[in-house]
């Protein structure tokens, strides 16, 4: 596999200097559709969140992402950050569907730490993985969709620098179909994001717990890192 890099644009840090991204690069993994040992703690953390369902929108971590979305021109009520959407879905109904073991684990971590968390199949991505502001010409096909869209110019996007396909629109709002993690995925990259007021220690702890869970439940071989304004790139080496 051609070596790739994760690169966060300098422009992102000029506007959001406190942004940080915890990274887990998984080189080999076994992903399954069902795992009761994962489903049980996921359901438990959802039940815990239901007890404070009236307060989570005022939590500083949730408000921090609302404010970040507003700052780049996105409406967080219309296009909610992933943690806000995940919490709403988890506590308003019968929990979350168990997509596969990896998705369930990063949903668990996201709900536990109240931070956005997502991942992509690296073998579906042809170039470097970049986070930056959209020109508007990039291409996006949402999860479960076949319709090709373009982002709004100035929108924060996570995209394949070579193909210009977007992995995630509006920073952490909606994932693409082409890079989704499935039971066939073997090389994946998972992101755990922090912004204003979210301590670095929270992102590091969430990343490290998820890495350990991936080793235990998915027999993962991985490395971890953290990107910020002082270290904007990470080489995804074999």
pLDDT value, residue 54: 62
Give Rg (Cα) of the chain: 17
Question: How far apart (Å, rounded) are the C-alpha atoms in residues 179 and 185?
Answer: 10
pLDDT at position 53 over 70:
no
**Helix H or strand E encompassing 130:** strand 129-133
CA angle 18, 23, 29 (to 5 degrees): 165
Over range 221-231, report the average pLDDT.
Answer: 98
Over range 85-100, report the average pLDDT.
Answer: 87
| Candidate CATH numbers 3.30.9.10, 3.30.450.20, 3.50.40.10, 1.10.490.10; the one for domain 4-236 | 3.50.40.10
pLDDT at position 78 over 60:
yes
Per mean pLDDT, which range of 38-42, 148-152, 211-215 is the poorest? 38-42
DSSP result, 76-96: TTTS--HHHHHHHHHHHTT--
Over range 89-117, report the average pLDDT.
Answer: 92
Instruction: Kindly indicate the confidence band of residue 160, based on its pLDDT and cuts at 50, 70 and 90.
Output: very high
Distant-in-sequence, close-in-space partners of 192: CB < 8 Å, separation ≥ 6: 21, 22, 23, 24, 106, 109, 110, 113, 115, 116, 117, 203, 206, 207, 210
pTM, two decimals, is: 0.95
End-to-end distance of the chain based on CA atoms, in angstroms? 8
Q: Per-domain residue ranges for the chain?
A: 4-236
Per mean pLDDT, which range of 9-23, 46-60, 95-109, 117-131 is the poorest? 46-60
Per mean pLDDT, which range of 86-90, 173-177, 179-183, 230-234 is the poorest? 86-90
């Amino acid at each position: 596999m051609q070596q790739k890099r994760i690169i966060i644009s300098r422009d992102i840090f000029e506007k959001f200097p406190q942004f940080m991204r915890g990274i887990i690069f998984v080189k080999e993994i076994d992903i399954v559709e069902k795992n009761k040992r994962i489903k049980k703690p996921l359901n438990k953390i959802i039940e815990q969140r239901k007890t404070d369902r009236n307060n989570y929108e005022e939590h500083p971590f949730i408000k921090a992402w609302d404010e970040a979305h507003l700052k780049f021109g996105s409406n967080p009520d219309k296009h909610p950050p992933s943690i806000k959407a995940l919490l709403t879905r988890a506590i308003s109904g019968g929990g979350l569907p168990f997509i596969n073991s990896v998705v369930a684990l990063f949903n668990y971590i996201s709900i536990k730490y109240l931070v956005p968390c997502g991942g992509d199949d690296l073998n579906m991505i042809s170039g470097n993985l970049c986070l930056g502001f959209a020109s508007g010409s990039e291409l996006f096909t949402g999860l479960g969709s076949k319709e090709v869209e373009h982002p709004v110019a100035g929108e924060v996007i996570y995209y394949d620098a070579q193909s210009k396909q977007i992995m995630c629109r509006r920073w952490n709002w909606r994932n693409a179909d082409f890079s989704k993690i499935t039971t066939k995925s073997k090389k994946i990259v998972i992101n755990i994001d922090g912004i204003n007021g979210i301590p670095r220690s929270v992102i590091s702890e969430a990343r490290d717990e998820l890495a350990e869970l991936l080793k235990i439940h998915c027999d993962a071989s991985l490395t971890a890192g953290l990107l910020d304004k002082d270290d904007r790139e990470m080489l995804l080496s074999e």
